[in-house]
Amino acid sequence: MNILVSACLLGVECRYNGYGVLQEDIVKLMNKHTLIPVCPEQLGGLPTPRKPVELTDGRAVTKEGLDVTEEFQKGAIETLKLARLYRCDAAILKSNSPSCGSAKIYDGTFQGVLIEGNGLTAALLKENGIKVYTEHELKELVGLK
Which chain residues interact with ligand SF4 by CB under 6 A? 6-8, 14-15, 39-41, 94, 97, 99-100
Cβ 36 to ligand SF4, closest distance in Å? 12
Give the residue from 39, 38, 30 showing the smallest Cα distance to 142. 30
Q: Based on CB atoms, which residue is closest to ligand SF4, 128 or 145?
A: 128
Q: Based on CB atoms, which residue is closest to ligand SF4, 40 or 108?
A: 40
Helix (H) or strand (E) holding 71: helix 69-85
Length of the chain: 145
Cβ 31 to ligand SF4, closest distance in Å? 22
First to last CA, the chain: 8
Distance, in Å, from the CA atom of 145 to the CA atom of 143, rounded to the nearest integer, reads 6
26 DSSP 8-state letter: H
Q: Based on CB atoms, which residue is closest to ligand SF4, 66 or 145?
A: 66
User: 69-85 and 120-127 are packed helices; what angle lies between their axes, rounded to 10 degrees?
Assistant: 40
Cβ 55 to ligand SF4, closest distance in Å? 13
Cβ 18 to ligand SF4, closest distance in Å? 10
Cβ 64 to ligand SF4, closest distance in Å? 18
Q: Based on CB atoms, which residue is closest to ligand SF4, 49 or 145?
A: 49
Q: Based on CB atoms, which residue is closest to ligand SF4, 68 or 145?
A: 68
Q: How many CA atoms lie within 13 A of 14 on its CB side?
A: 23
